Structure 1
Amino acid sequence: MAELIAPMDIDGDDTNPSPLKPNNNKGKNVVVSDPVHGEATPWVEKYRPQSLDDVAAHRDIVDTIDRLTSENRLPHLLLYGPPGTGKTSTILAVARKLYGPQYRSMILELNASDDRGIDVVREQIQNFAGTQSLSFGAKPPVKLILLDEADAMTKDAQFALRRVIEKYTKSTRFSLICNHVNKIIPALQSRCTRFRFAPLDSFHVTERLKHVIEAEGLDVSESGLAAVVRLSNGDMRKALNILQSTHMASQKITEDAVYLCTGNPLPKDIEQISHWLLNESFTESFKRISDMKATKGLALVDIVREVTMFVFKIKMPADVRVLLINDLADIEYRLTFGCNDTLQLGSMIATFTKARSALVAAAK
């Protein structure tokens, strides 16, 4: 009969953490390994870190949480930052270290964007926190409740959760995960140890992608890899999705293949559009950009976003640059709310026409 190992008790005085055990569960949604249809597994789940050592970046945060876990001093956690930066992967790796193979029975994982009302706090969360854990040791193990996208919870639910956290601190640890920490009420923030997960830098995204490329045996050019890293904007989940979708569409992953698959304008197209905006008349720029949009199926919001980035590379007076960037940001904001593309294209061209006049005046 296999030996039963009791999960660690965080509030106890004895340090006796459970050894890390291999586990096939990959993350938020459990993906069952299928040797026949294994290729259909999303790489986001297939290559999700299984231990704290596998987390790609934020080593200072990961090492701190790892130390607190090993010392039986894990507090309530509030992990916040942009999507795809390792928040959920980190806390799931902590759960695996705490409980080993039986970690699924010791955690309650809820997506607060779906279950965000006060009834969920009063029923599911309180019931789970209030039940006694099965333990073969001297003390019952501490359970873990994961609330993903906690910033989507209603204010009433957050206030109710505050009381539940206070009541069950001795038996349960809470981990809140969110993108916007300002949407979490101060009463909850003060009860948690906060860690900010910044967007991943290019180095860590590149290294992780190289690992996936080697494991999958992909044919990826250097420019193709650089394009995936650039388009991901520090989001590892987005980077893996781009890599997998491009691989499904093209045997060789090149820069053109990546941009074509994602529908983003190529850098050379942005350079051409910027040239028209800075040198051609309003009518000519409008016609040429409209033709390129129709021919290549580009979205104006993507063009505006990329042109904004291109403005940073152009040598011009600081006040003119600020004028351009602010106006382009306003146009992008209006496009996200469904404003007419034709009107916003005209607005973008007019913005550059005004900037050109300012450049001429500065030259004189």
Structure 2
Amino acid sequence: MAPVLQTSQPWVEKYRPKQVKDVAHQDEVVRVLTNTLETTNCPHMLFYGPPGTGKTTTALAIAHQLFGPELYKSRVLELNASDDRGINVVRTKIKDFAAVAVGSGQRKGGYPCPPYKIIILDEADSMTEDAQNALRRTMETYSKVTRFFFICNYISRIIEPLASRCAKFRFKPLSEEIMTSRILHICKEEGLNLDAEALSTLSNISQGDLRRAITYLQSAARLFGSSISSEDLISVSGVIPKEVVEAFLAACKGGNFDLANKEVNNVIAEGYPVSQMLSQLFEMVVEADDVSDEQKARICKKLGETDKFLIDGADEYLQLLDVASNTMRALCNMPQEFSYDC
């Protein structure tokens, strides 16, 4: 069998930091965890923050630095959102793994190998409340031989009894400078050419998510070769071109419903996701200088309601048309529609 080419590896994995000290932009987290690795006295941990900021990378790096490749598989249990992590799994798989004691700490291959195991629960905020409650007792009972690492985007979805048992680490969104630096490093390694405009575009469309930025970059490189433009990145990202959103908003400002309806049909016909349209329209309305605060409030209120309707399965065309008519009313200072409550 022919060997698998290295180029087939996703760049997200290829350039994933292997050590905690290499994680970008999370200086406070890295400093504390580096000290933790030196003492090997590791508490239960809760990593939270936006996606693509290094939470999972940090958890995996800690586990690899503590146990090395030899003991990693026997000492570390990884469960993410694709695994069943209901109450039955907590009572069986997690509890069984947590209950088994390990030998006293002996260094192997230069790794500390402390006398405990690690359970990494990625996307922990998607676990049911019952499953989280079932974990409380497991954490207390087996804390001498097992450490839990919880990874989530929203700490508010982790029940307080679990959160209070963990050392909490907040991961910040990555700044444009940090992202640009990392992307330029990958471009140098892969022989890509990105100009300043393309770099800025990549940072904007990925919104502080480095994983998303690297994925867009690899997709564009596969499609367009080594020289990548701003337009190439937009086309692979699913972001709606700025001129489409501007044309929609301009039609609403003009007060011509037929023109607005035409723009709505254009968005639907092109297959653009309406949820993405709402997101970009929100940003454009908020930054607009020629729209009053009251008008912005009316429009943004409607955008929020429409987003909820779309999540509930409403028709995209009708919802975007509703947004267009309400935006037109707000921008033309027409009175709001009356609602009749029973």
Q: TM-score range by the shorter chain?
A: 0.7 to 0.9
Counterpart position of 1:210: 184
Counterpart position of 2:101: 132
* CA distance in structure 2 between the aligned counterparts of 1:50 and 1:153, rounded to whole angstroms: 27
* CA distance in structure 2 between the aligned counterparts of 1:112 and 1:127, rounded to whole angstroms: 20
The 5 Å alignment of 1:18-29 reads none
* CA distance in structure 1 between the aligned counterparts of 2:84 and 2:263, rounded to whole angstroms: 48
2:306 maps to a residue whose letter is I
* CA distance in structure 2 between the aligned counterparts of 1:80 and 1:208, rounded to whole angstroms: 22
Secondary structure of 1:60 counterpart: helix
Q: Is the 8 A contact 1:113 1:153 kept in 2?
A: no
1:195 maps to a residue whose letter is F
Q: Which whole-Å deviations, capped at 9, do the CAs of 1:284-306 have from their partners, x for residues lacking one?
A: 12114423552x44233322221
The 5 Å alignment of 1:1-364 reads 36-102=4-70, 103-111=72-80, 114-135=83-104, 137=106, 141-251=115-225, 252-291=227-266, 293-294=268-269, 296-315=270-289, 316-358=291-333
* CA distance in structure 1 between the aligned counterparts of 2:263 and 2:297, rounded to whole angstroms: 26
Q: Is the 8 A contact 2:53 2:209 kept in 1?
A: yes
Q: Is the 8 A contact 1:270 1:303 kept in 2?
A: yes
* CA distance in structure 2 between the aligned counterparts of 1:356 and 1:118, rounded to whole angstroms: 51
The alpha-carbon distance between structure 1 residues 136 and 344, as it changes in their structure 2 partners (threshold 3 A), is: closer
The alpha-carbon distance between structure 1 residues 301 and 174, as it changes in their structure 2 partners (threshold 3 A), is: closer
Q: Is the 8 A contact 1:143 1:173 kept in 2?
A: yes
* CA distance in structure 1 between the aligned counterparts of 2:170 and 2:234, rounded to whole angstroms: 31
The alpha-carbon distance between structure 1 residues 43 and 345, as it changes in their structure 2 partners (threshold 3 A), is: same
Identity score, percent: 37
Task: Please state how far the C-alpha of 1:36 moved relative to its aligned partner.
Answer: 3.9
Alignment TM-score, normalising by the size of structure 2:
0.87
* CA distance in structure 2 between the aligned counterparts of 1:266 and 1:306, rounded to whole angstroms: 10
Q: Is the 8 A contact 2:268 2:317 kept in 1?
A: no
Alignment TM-score, normalising by the size of structure 1:
0.82
Question: Is there any run of 5+ residues in structure 2 with no aligned partner, and where?
Answer: 108-112, 336-342
Task: Please state how far the C-alpha of 1:142 moved relative to its aligned partner.
Answer: 2.0
Q: Which whole-Å deviations, capped at 9, do the CAs of 1:205-250 have from their partners, x for residues lacking one?
A: 2221111111111122322222221111111221111111121121
Task: Please state how far the C-alpha of 1:310 moved relative to its aligned partner.
Answer: 0.6
Q: Is the 8 A contact 1:75 1:173 kept in 2?
A: yes
Q: Is the 8 A contact 1:286 1:345 kept in 2?
A: no
* CA distance in structure 2 between the aligned counterparts of 1:233 and 1:61, rounded to whole angstroms: 21
Task: Please state how far the C-alpha of 1:358 moved relative to its aligned partner.
Answer: 2.4
Q: Which whole-Å deviations, capped at 9, do the CAs of 1:306-347 have from their partners, x for residues lacking one?
A: 111111221132222111111122223322333223322321
Counterpart position of 2:338: none
* CA distance in structure 1 between the aligned counterparts of 2:162 and 2:284, rounded to whole angstroms: 41
The alpha-carbon distance between structure 1 residues 180 and 188, as it changes in their structure 2 partners (threshold 3 A), is: same
The alpha-carbon distance between structure 1 residues 136 and 183, as it changes in their structure 2 partners (threshold 3 A), is: closer
* CA distance in structure 1 between the aligned counterparts of 2:114 and 2:58, rounded to whole angstroms: 24
Q: Is the 8 A contact 1:78 1:177 kept in 2?
A: yes
* CA distance in structure 2 between the aligned counterparts of 1:293 and 1:153, rounded to whole angstroms: 35
RMSD of aligned C-alpha atoms? 2.4
* CA distance in structure 1 between the aligned counterparts of 2:283 and 2:18, rounded to whole angstroms: 36
